[in-house]
Amino acid sequence: MATDKTEPASESLYPALEGFIENAARADLSEVFASIREGLGSLKGPRAEQGAKVRTAIERTEELLNFLMEVREKIEGNKRGGGR
């Protein structure tokens, strides 16, 4: 007998991330990663190469979070404006 193992839509899989996106402004996003970027900039030697990879990952993460925030803004705008 097959059982449905899907999670209910109301349960959050990533509550911390979802809460941040719902409450944060775009300016907050750059502040979140600023101290990490500063620390990565001070790395020397073999760790500098690893730091460059982490910096790239952080940049991509920021891009994705910005995209999520744009989507949130569009959805909120559509709700207020009664659009689709």
User: pLDDT tens, 8-54?
Assistant: 556 778 888 788 777 887 778 878 888 888 888 898 998 999 999 99
Enclosing domain of residue 34: 20-78
Within-domain flag for 71 = yes
Within-domain flag for 4 = no
Within-domain flag for 70 = yes
Within-domain flag for 5 = no
**pLDDT of res. 84:** 54
pLDDT value at 6 more than 60: no
Within-domain flag for 8 = no
Phi-psi region of 54 (alpha: psi -120 to 50; beta: other; left: phi over 0): alpha
Within-domain flag for 1 = no
Structural domain count of the chain: 1
Within-domain flag for 41 = yes
Judge contact between 58 and 33, C-beta under 8 A.
yes
Section 59-84 average pLDDT: 85
pLDDT value at 1 more than 60: no
**pLDDT of res. 30:** 79
**pLDDT of res. 35:** 83
Section 56-77 average pLDDT: 89
